[in-house]
Amino acid sequence: MGGLVGAAASGASRRVIAPIVLTTVTGVGLFGISLLADLYGVLAPEGGTGSPPSSLPWVETQIGFAYVHDPTFAYRTFLVPGMDLRLSSLRLSGSGWFALNDDNARLRVEAAHRFIGPGTPDGPRAADGSFLEIEGALTHQRYTSDDFSITTGEVSLEGRLDLAHLGRTLRGSFAEMGWGIAVEGYRHGRRPLEGNELLIPRFAFGAYVGHAGYPRGEAKVVYDHRHDGYVGGAKLPGLGSGVPGHFGLEGRLHASPRWGLLAEVKAGSAYVGRLALLFRPGDSP
């Protein structure tokens, strides 16, 4: 509430809006996570719904399809490939969204360094799923049919805390928080490049699924304040429209050491759903 009052009192001035947005999203995140954690503590079985993996695979690939409902644009269906490559505490990732019914594509590369948390199988086994990492990413999205493109560079700090540290009844659940900033460059046809800054805080509450063997995975509910991408920001009536980001549900379930499924739905100014097949080659944890 204090953040909203501050934004209104300052007229959302660019000089003060950054700390206001970051503190407001963090405050709402702590409140929302606490509420969901209370519900989990009451409803979850003894010992929790699952346990985190002690290590992560060196390589994980995915191939899937996505559907985007946005009345502003013609695209609807997408082919979405991706890959994660881990080398000790370093992660390199790449993904692409390629429209099947329009000339539109989104390419993204990421590099992250993990300070603490589960790493590759050749490293020390983590005690739980908690982690802290810094990530840099570059995204290029071209709307060829609409004659414009967006290129985004960003850096963020993200962490997860297994909530068993806070209470026995919270075993199997976790909370995530992230803070970051992005710089965007827009190009409309042959016009000069235009720049913009974007704050990208986020938070999530989730639970692990499965304790040992397979199937096992995790599911979480997410709020992401970023407004770029296909889902955009929340569409609300009145003065609040365009300020909040978007909400989503994400889950992944591995049926074996090599094969799994990823599913997500997101709602902002558009609606996005995605289903992907996951594959881990070689020996995986």
Write the pLDDT tens digit of every residue in 14-61: 555 567 777 888 889 899 999 999 999 999 999 999 999 988 999 999
Residues 139, 156 contacting (CB under 8 angstroms)? no
Q: How far apart are CA 235 and CA 97, in angstroms?
A: 23
pLDDT of residue 237: 62
Q: Using CB atoms within 10 A of its CB, is residue 33 exposed (0-12), middle (13-18) or buried (19+)?
A: buried
131: helix, strand or coil: strand
Write the pLDDT tens digit of every residue in 232-251: 887 766 555 557 889 999 99
Domain locations along the chain: 2-279
Strands 202-209 and 194-199: unpaired
145: helix, strand or coil: helix
21: helix, strand or coil: helix
pLDDT of residue 230: 93
pTM here is: 0.89
Correct CATH for 2-279 of 2.40.160.40, 3.40.50.1170, 3.40.50.300, 3.40.50.970:
2.40.160.40
Q: How far apart are CA 213 and CA 256, in angstroms?
A: 8
Write the pLDDT tens digit of every residue in 178-223: 999 999 998 887 888 788 888 899 999 999 999 988 999 999 999 9
CA 142 to mean position of chain CA atoms = 21
Residues 261, 253 contacting (CB under 8 angstroms)? yes
Give the DSSP letter string of 212-263. Answer: SSSSEEEEEEEEE----TTT-S---SGGGTTSS-EEEEEEEEESSSSEEEEE
pLDDT of residue 149: 93
**Lowest mean per-residue pLDDT among 37-46, 146-155, 159-168, 188-197:** 188-197
